[in-house]
Amino acid sequence: MSNIINIKNVTKEFKVLNRREGLKGSIKDLFSRDYKIVRAVDNISMDIEQGEVIGYLGPNGAGKSTTIKMMTGVLEPTSGEILVGGNIPYKNRTKNAQDIGVVFGQRSQLWWALPLIESFNILKDIYQIGDNEYHNMLEMYQSLVDIESLLHKPVRQMSLGQRTLSDILAAFLHDPKIVFLDEPTIGLDVSMKAKIRDLIYALNKEKNTTVILTTHDMGDVDALCRRIVIIDKGKMLYDNDIEHLRGFFGSYRTLKIRVDGKLSKCADIVRKELANLSVSSDDEWISILVDEEKTTVMDVLNQLRNTFNIRDMQLEEISTEDVIKKIYEEGVK
Amino acid sequence: MKIKKYLTLTRAGIIESLNFRLAILIMIAGNLLYLIVVYFLWKSIFASSETGVVNGMTFTDTLIYLVLATALFNFMEMYTVWDMGRNIQSGKIVLDLLKPMEYRSYLFWSYSGSFVTNFFFTVLPTFMVVIIVTHGAIPFGINLLFFAVSVILGVMINYSIDFIVGTICLYTESIWGINIMKQVIVLLLSGATVPIVFFPEPLKTIVYYLPFQSIYNAPLTLLLSRNPSYETVLIIIGTQLIWCIIITAFGKIFWKKSLRQITVNGG
């Protein structure tokens, strides 16, 4: 039993004010009691062990950030219990802060105008990191990425990729037990993504830091996470290792075709013809979800070729969104 | 060890503001311009009076007061309300809340660096100029010590007022109007734009009971008066101290309550 995080039946409800307009309205809103209640997180439980890397997935607005904010102590759960490293985060936020590191994809905690090394020095004092630990950490960073070239560059002159990299290093600097990474690879190019993944992987291995990673990029998950947790609309849909999930959905592929003739009409015909498959269409493509264990993509294509003149086709591995949609529609048995 | 974690923020603030050389130059130039306007404005006011003394102050007295008030204003100027408002709107405040120290102190110490640079770039030069030009309008003596204590209290009161206004931004989510309102009120009622002795009677008494005059008027009075009685000094600093405690306490409680509001209700 080395659970670092215990979450038990956590629910978070927001009272959302039905807002009025203008300064007068805002002042009135100070006293208004016109609320509606939104349930952002609904009865979630999980235990996380020291050293795990967890992929925390779900569509936009699923409640991921809310859960993370509760774990960091910025939000207080409406009901249920959260323990992070033995602390109740919202009660001991300042103490809890010493044990965690945070990276929010689009925001930086670094000092904008200063060279990176100054930010590190400030963090060293704020988190009261000892001189030896600090130097060892910097040495280790140097062995993982070429940090020397970044250290003396002001953060505002960095590219997004360099900044994200720096932010991740900053989050690990005080050797926290847990690091929360909220969409760290958002907006980065492929090689930078790979670099960031390697870095997170190495830091986790080196320091046995628990990493909780939210992302929309299945590549991040594949590269880093053994275990994934999926939530949607505040409810937990899945909590198991990734092989398990692949076993369920690995055999699914999305076949996209473009045909001669009016798309919506053709889509209806396809739907009729492939009654047992799920078919959807947009302005450009007709998408068909194929379970390769039952029928192969080739069979479907052959069948369609009898009726249509196929102009173009694409084959896509099932995406996170599709997996989540599938799970949401059918559940995991 | 403990104080180091705050002083490092001061240090960062100094380096940060030194980075913007142009901003410092523009600040100095802007000050000069403002002082020129002040000079001519008050010159014409005094020209219309026959005795050369208005409300017990000569032209030189008034000018020295206002020049020093401007210097103090620049010294204390913090963009607390702006920064809090912006951070609340953008959500960056979450990152600041996750630092292992109180947000209130974190923010204060982040600004403290600019006190140091402002001291060297505006306060000290202004003092020098005033001393040289007026040949000793500023008495040297124990009053400098009172002044220093008084300024520190003034800084704390100023910050607390800013922090309270910033906290209001949590509710309104708009910054501009509130900030302008605060600025006008503070500048007028603190004696930074017009010396308080010039205020008409009922207002003058009211203003002396308000916290704002403790920011600029109190330290300047201590600095400029020759041989004040210890009773006067005690009253001025005592008033400041009481306001400082009240406003700081109020600000802390208000912030705590408001923060609970966010942690319960989300930002």
Q: Which residue has the higher pLDDT, A293 or B45?
A: B45
Q: Concatenated DSSP letters for A8-39?
A: EEEEEEEEEE----HHHHHHHHHH---EEEEE
- In a shared domain, residues A174 and A289: no
As for the ipTM of the complex, it is 0.81
In a domain, A188, yes or no: yes
Averaged pLDDT of chain A: 85
- The CATH number of the domain holding residue A263 is 3.30.2130.10
Partner residue opposite B99 with nearest CB, options A23, A27, A97:
A97
- In a shared domain, residues A77 and A192: yes
Q: What percent of chain A has pLDDT over 90?
A: 31
In a domain, A326, yes or no: no
- The tens digit of pLDDT for each residue in B227-252 reads 778 888 999 999 999 999 999 999 99
In a domain, A322, yes or no: no
Q: What pLDDT does residue A320 have?
A: 61
**Cα–Cα distance, A161 to A140 (Å, whole number):** 20
Residue after which a domain boundary falls, among A247, A273, A308: A247
Q: How many Cβ atoms from other residues are within 10 Å of residue A210's Cβ?
A: 24
In a domain, A331, yes or no: no
Tokens 């951070």 locate to B87
- In a shared domain, residues A165 and A290: no
Asked if residue A102 has pLDDT above 60, the reply is: yes
**Cα–Cα distance, B88 to B67 (Å, whole number):** 35
Instruction: Count A/B contacts: CB-CB distance under 8 Å.
Output: 88
How much is the CA Rg of chain A, to the nearest whole Å?
Answer: 24
**Cα–Cα distance, B88 to A92 (Å, whole number):** 21
Asked if residue A322 has pLDDT above 90, the reply is: no
pLDDT tier at A137, thresholds 50, 70, 90:
very high
- Asked whether A94 and B102 are in contact (CB, 8 A), the reply is yes
In a domain, A35, yes or no: no
- The CATH number of the domain holding residue A161 is 3.40.50.300
What is the enclosing helix (H) or strand (E) of A279?
Answer: strand A278-281
Amino acid of residue A324: I
- Bridge-partner residues for A8, per DSSP? A81
Q: What pLDDT does residue A172 have?
A: 93
Q: Collect all residues of chain B within an 8 Å Cβ-Cβ radius of residue A98.
A: 100
Euclidean distance between the first and the last CA atom of chain A, given in angstroms as a whole number: 27
**Cα–Cα distance, A301 to B148 (Å, whole number):** 85
How much is the CA Rg of chain B, to the nearest whole Å?
Answer: 20
Asked if residue A123 has pLDDT above 60, the reply is: yes
- In a shared domain, residues A150 and A267: no
The mean pLDDT of A121-129, rounded to a whole number, is: 92
Quote the number of domains for chain A: 2
**Cα–Cα distance, B16 to A217 (Å, whole number):** 36
Q: What pLDDT does residue A122 have?
A: 92
Amino acid of residue A21: E
Q: What is the domain range of residue B221?
A: 4-265
Residue after which a domain boundary falls, among A222, A247, A272: A247
In a domain, A67, yes or no: yes
Q: What pLDDT does residue A295 have?
A: 81
- In a shared domain, residues A94 and A157: yes
- In a shared domain, residues A86 and A222: yes
In a domain, A222, yes or no: yes
B residues 120..179 contacting A (CB < 8 A): 171-174, 177
- In a shared domain, residues A115 and A256: no
Question: What is the distance, to the nearest Å, from the Cα of residue A219 to the centroid of all Cα atoms in its chain?
Answer: 11
- Asked whether A228 and A242 are in contact (CB, 8 A), the reply is yes
Q: Is the dihedral of CA A313, A319, A325, A327 positive or negative?
A: positive
* Residues whose CB falls within 8 Å of the CB of residue A134, separated by 6 or more in sequence, listed in order: A124, A173
- In a shared domain, residues A201 and A290: no
Partner residue opposite B177 with nearest CB, options A23, A72, A98:
A23
**Would you give the DSSP letter of residue B123?**
I
Q: What pLDDT does residue A176 have?
A: 93
**Cα–Cα distance, A107 to A167 (Å, whole number):** 9
Asked if residue A324 has pLDDT above 70, the reply is: no
- In a shared domain, residues A166 and A234: yes
In a domain, A198, yes or no: yes
User: Which region, left, alpha or beta, applies to residue B212 given φ > 0 means left and ψ of -120 to 50 means alpha?
Assistant: alpha
- In a shared domain, residues A240 and A270: no
Q: What is the domain range of residue A299?
A: 251-317
Q: How many Cβ atoms from other residues are within 10 Å of residue B235's Cβ?
A: 13
- In a shared domain, residues A99 and A196: yes
A120 CB within 8 Å of a chain B CB: no
Residue after which a domain boundary falls, among A247, A265, A283: A247
Quote the number of domains for chain B: 1
Spans of chain B, pLDDT less than 70? 1, 263-267
- In a shared domain, residues A312 and A231: no
Taking the CA atoms of residue B122, residue B124, residue B129 and residue B131 in that order, the dihedral angle to the nearest 10 degrees is 150
Q: What pLDDT does residue A53 have?
A: 93
Q: Do residue A126 and residue B100 have CB atoms under 8 angstroms apart?
A: yes
